[in-house]
Amino acid sequence: MDTISLKMPVTIKAKLTEKLKAKILGELEDGIKRAELEVQQLNIQEKRVMQENQPEDAENPTPEEIQRLQSIQAHFGQECQKRLQYREEAMARKEETEKLVLGAEIVQGTLERQVEVHVGDDMRELMNVEVLVEDDKIIAIRS
């Protein structure tokens, strides 16, 4: 056997333009606002659920009631923490994006391509293929 068909990765890069930069910053800003709103909603839900699960005798709660309240607080605390962590990461990415200069190449992701390889082919050359996009148009294919 002298040939075989393989799936190889292709890196997709985008040339940073004003349009792309504005789109990325807008998506990050939307994500930050959404995370902040979700934290507010979770806090409201937590208060409601805590009120619904208050012990019958507030002065002398049973161990089960205490455990249930602690479990509720832990659940909502974890959910809020996830949103706050996402918010921090999005804010950091926003700062990084604002610092990028127009024309910079940023990695958008990876796709796969089907390649027919032969004995003697340079594997490194086959593996390192990039597609460069500018405003949704392919402007270069590099290997």
Amino acid making up residue 21? K
Contact between 107 and 15 under an 8 Å Cβ cutoff? The reply is no
What's the pLDDT tens digit per position in 94-126? 999 999 999 999 999 999 989 888 888 888 888
pLDDT, residue 29, reads 96
The set of residues, in sequence order, having a beta carbon less than 8 Å from that of 62 and lying 6+ positions away, is 55
Separation of alpha carbons 7 and 141, rounded Å: 17
What's the pLDDT tens digit per position in 9-39? 899 999 999 999 999 999 999 999 999 999 9
Query: Based on the number of CB atoms within 10 Å of its own CB, is 9 exposed (0-12), middle (13-18) or buried (19 or more)?
Result: exposed
pTM for this predicted structure = 0.72
Average pLDDT value for residue range 123-136: 87
Alpha helices in 61-122 (DSSP H): 63-99
Give, in order, the Cα–Cα distances in Å from 96 to each of 35, 91, 93, 101. Answer: 19, 9, 5, 10
* pLDDT over threshold 90, residue 128: no
Contact between 13 and 86 under an 8 Å Cβ cutoff? The reply is no
Least-confidence region, from 2-6, 48-52, 58-62, 91-95: 58-62
